[in-house]
Amino acid sequence: MALGAFAPVTIPHAVAKYTAVAILAALDTGLGGFRAALEGRFDSVAFISGFTFNSLLAAALTYLGDLLGIDLYVAAVVVFGVRLFDNLAVVRRMVLNRFLS
């Protein structure tokens, strides 16, 4: 992430929505995997298949929205955003409980 923040990369406007959804899918899957690892129930097959399925579904929604002229990618952004904050809250509680108990 640090390399990406400082790299002079520009993303074409035509694929910016797809890139945003892909980044959110990656963050959601990564944080969900970290949460599962903290809970002791991490499964690599579920991790990879969840990332693949979520990414494909979000890309399909974005593409369908582009075809229809509707911003359907917002639905994926909202869902991934809610899941990110939920997973982050659970991870935060677990880490605090682990170190403060």
For residue 2, being part of any structural domain is answered with: no
For residue 74, being part of any structural domain is answered with: yes
How many domains in the chain?
A: 1
User: Who's near 51: CB < 8 A, 6+ residues apart?
Assistant: 25, 26, 29
For residue 7, being part of any structural domain is answered with: no
Residue 91: its pLDDT value, please?
93
CB 61 within 8 A of CB 76: yes
> What tokens were used for 57?
């579904």
Task: Give the 3-state secondary structure of residue 81.
Answer: helix
Residue 82: its pLDDT value, please?
94
Low-confidence ranges of the chain (pLDDT < 50): none
For residue 1, being part of any structural domain is answered with: no
For residue 51, being part of any structural domain is answered with: yes
User: Who's near 47: CB < 8 A, 6+ residues apart?
Assistant: 29, 32, 33, 36
Where in the sequence is the domain holding 89, given as residue range(s)?
14-100
pLDDT tens, position by position, 20-35: 888 888 889 999 999 9
CA-CA distance, 30 to 7, in Å (whole number)? 22
Backbone phi, psi, residue 42, to 5°:
-70, 135
The reported pTM is 0.79
